[in-house]
Amino acid sequence: MSNGGCRGGCMYLIVSSPLPLPSFLFGVFFFLFFSLPFSNTLLSCLGHMTDQKKFSAEVRDDNPYSRLMALQRMGVVEDYEAIRHKSVAIIGAGGVGSVVAEMLTRCGIGKLLLFDYDKVELANMNRLFYRPEQQGMTKVDAAKATLEGINPDTTIVPCAYSITAVDQWDTFVESLLTGGVAPQTPIDLLLCCVDNFQARLTVNEVCLQHRLPWMESGVAENAVSGHIQLLLPGTTACYECCPPLVVATGMPEAKREGVCAASLPTTMGIVAGFLAQNTLKYLLQFGTVSEYVGYDAMRDYFPQVHIKANPDCRNRTCVARQAEYAADVAARGEAAHPLHAARQARLAREERERAAAKAKADACAAEWGITVEDKGKHSLAVAQGGGGQDGQGEVEYAYAAGQEDAEAPAEAYVQVDESESIEALMARMKGM
C-alpha cells in the first residue's frame, strides 16, 4: 500500500491508525480552511475561461476580449465574435508568418494551420517571436507552444512538412479542404508568407483548383521593402498573371553562394501588420480590403494598385476561373460581388479626396488673388511651335522640336570639298 500513491497511503493511515477526535476535527478544519479558497480561485479561473469562450464585451481587467469587442460597440465591426468561427492557414512560420500568427491569435481567431518544415536557428533571433531556448525545434511546434500560451482558445495545428514535396501534395490539399473550424469544412483564408517562388506557385495552383482565397506577402532581399497582395481565383490576378521575372523566365532560384539575405524585424513587422489587418477586414467584412499594398522603407511610401486578371494567363485554371467569374457577373451583376463594391467605394473615396483637394486649392488661390486657368491639352501644332486658336495664354516654346534651324547664318557652316587635302583645309580655316 505504501507504493499505491497518496490516496492509498492516506486511507491506510486512517483505517490502521485512527486519530484522536480532537486531532481529527483539527485536520478537517485545516483542510476546509485552506482548500476552499483555492477551490474558489480555481472556479473563478474556469469561469473567466468560459467568459473568453463567450467573447464577453464586459470591460474587466481579466477579460482579454473586451478591447476587441469595443470595435463592435463603436460600429467598426458588425459582428466581431464571428472571428471565433474562422480558420486561417499560414504557409511559412518565419519572420512574417510567425508574427501574423501571433497577431491573429491575440485577436481570437478560431483556428490556425501552420505549415513549415524548417527548424528554429539562432540566426532567426534577430526577428520577432522565437526565443533562443527554442533552437532545434520545428518552427511550427515552437509556434504552437508559444501561441497556446498566449490564447488557449485558439486551435493551433502544426504541419511540419514541405508543401512543395510531391508526396505531400494530397496531404496538403486535404488539410486545406478539411481545416475549417466546423468538421470537414475548408479554411476561410490562406496566407502565404514564404521566401521562395516555388512554394508560391504551389499555393497558387492549389487555390485556383479548389477556389480558395489567399493573400501573398513578401519582403525584399535587402529588407527595406515589401508587399501584400489579395488573390481571389477568377476575380483578381493570380500569381502567374503578372509573375516576377524569375518565374516568368524560368530562371533557377538557387540562392547565390556567399550571399545572405538581409533581415530587419521592423520591415517584417510592418508587412505582417498590413497582412493581419487585411485578413481581419476580409474575414469580418469591414473597411476596404486592399488588393495590393507595397512598402518602401527608404521613402516611407505605401503604393496601392489594382492588378487585373490576365486573360492570356499561362495558367489554364486561372483562365477558366476568369470565365466563371465573368459568367457570374453577367448573371448577378457586379454589385453582387463584395470586391467590386469595395472597388467602387475606393474610387468614390478617391474622387471625394480629389474634389476636396481642388476645393482647398481654389480657396487658397482666392485668398491670395491667384487665378488658375486650365486650357486643357495642347494640340500637336502647339507642341511643334504653333500657337493656339487665339494665340493668347498658350505655352511659348524656346524652339520648335523636330524642325531644322533654317534661319541659321550660312557662315556658321564650313563647306568641305571631299577632294581637298587636310593641309589645304587647315590653311583655309586659319585664314577665316
Catalytic residues: 260
Q: What angle do CA 206, 211, 216 make, to 5 degrees?
A: 60
74-78: which pairs have CB atoms within 8 A and are 24 or more residues apart? 76/286, 77/284, 77/286, 78/284, 78/285, 78/286
In angstroms, the CA 128 to CA 370 distance is: 53
CA pseudo-torsion sign 117, 171, 113, 76: positive
Q: Which candidate, 233, 281, 288, 230, places its Cα nearest to that of 86?
A: 281
Characterise 303 by phi-psi region: left (phi > 0), alpha (psi -120 to 50), beta (else). Answer: beta
Environment class of residue 54 by beta-carbon count within 10 Å: exposed (0-12), middle (13-18) or buried (19+)? exposed
In angstroms, the CA 188 to CA 181 distance is: 9
SS3 149: helix
> Which residue carries 512574417 as its cell?
96
In angstroms, the CA 103 to CA 105 distance is: 5
H/E segment holding residue 214: strand 214-219
The count of other CB atoms within 10 Å of the CB of residue 24 is 12
SS3 281: helix
